[in-house]
């Protein structure tokens, strides 16, 4: 370095000190933190799959957009299969876990109920799903379903008891009714009267979002 450059450098340093400015060495380098992407597995039936909806308007897509709007770095994997039962969800769980999710939303049981299948078998299947998720280090959010009244009081009582009891058993976050605020509202349903339309999905996402946020926080703490 020439004598002239040395003098200029010294002069700048002296001027900076006089003005209370930090020297270049004192200025910390800035490296923006990049949050690791968290993957959410949406394991369900047609309510998750987005039956009858345009691409990008189903549950997984709308949930991902809502979480990103809240500042979350996430990818929501649509593992919904129309017509699937709890048995079907259990059978394909190993394959679905190939995406290495940190969180799984379990939305199954509606088709078991609509077909009048034995509630105890649905319970056993959901129990096995939650156990497998736990053993895989995945935080589960259990989304409940309620039985139609026309199936009789005994069936209704047995079926509706499945979800809260399993949530307690496995200690997982619990959202009592996936179609809360949507079921029975024709403005939020497709013409079949069963599946949510785009607005219905948006309402589901709005209501379940706090529970998903809590599950993501729990999964992040678990590591």
Helix or strand or coil: residue 46?
Answer: helix
Is 2 in the active site? no
Is 112 in the active site? no
Spatial contact of 37 and 1, defined as CB atoms under 8 Å apart = no
Spatial contact of 187 and 147, defined as CB atoms under 8 Å apart = no
Candidate list 45, 84, 112, 195, residue with the active-site label: 195
Is 195 in the active site? yes
> Left if phi > 0, otherwise alpha if psi is -120 to 50, otherwise beta: which for 193?
left
Burial label, 7 (beta-carbon count in 10 A; 0-12, 13-18, 19+): exposed
Candidate list 2, 29, 154, 192, residue with the active-site label: 192
Q: Report the C-alpha gap between 137 and 38 in whole angstroms.
A: 13
**Residue whose tokens read 């998750």:** 48
Taking Cα atoms as reference points, which of 7, 13, 42, 41 lies closest to residue 25?
13
Candidate list 45, 46, 84, 112, residue with the active-site label: 46
Residues classed as catalytic = 46, 192, 195
């Amino acid at each position: 370095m020439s004598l002239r450059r040395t003098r200029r450098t010294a002069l700048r340093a002296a001027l900076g000190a006089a003005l209370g400015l930090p020297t270049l060495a004192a200025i910390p380098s800035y490296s923006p933190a990049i949050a690791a992407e968290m993957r959410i597995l949406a394991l369900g039936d047609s309510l998750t799959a987005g039956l009858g909806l345009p691409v990008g308007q189903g549950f997984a897509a709308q949930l991902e957009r809502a979480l990103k709007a809240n500042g979350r770095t996430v990818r929501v994997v649509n593992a919904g299969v129309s017509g699937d039962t709890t048995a079907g969800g259990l059978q394909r769980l190993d394959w679905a876990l190939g995406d290495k999710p940190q969180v799984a939303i379990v939305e199954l049981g509606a088709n078991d109920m609509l077909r009048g299948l034995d509630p105890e078998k649905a319970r056993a299947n959901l129990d096995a799903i939650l156990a497998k998720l736990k053993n895989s280090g995945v935080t589960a959010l259990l989304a409940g379903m309620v039985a139609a009244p026309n199936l009789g009081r005994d069936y209704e009582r047995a079926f509706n008891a499945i979800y809260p009891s399993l949530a307690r058993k496995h200690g997982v976050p619990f959202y009592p009714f996936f179609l809360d605020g949507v079921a029975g509202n024709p403005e939020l349903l497709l013409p079949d009267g069963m599946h949510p339309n785009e607005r219905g999905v948006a309402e589901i996402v709005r209501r379940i979002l706090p529970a998903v946020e809590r599950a993501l926080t729990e999964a992040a703490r678990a590591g």
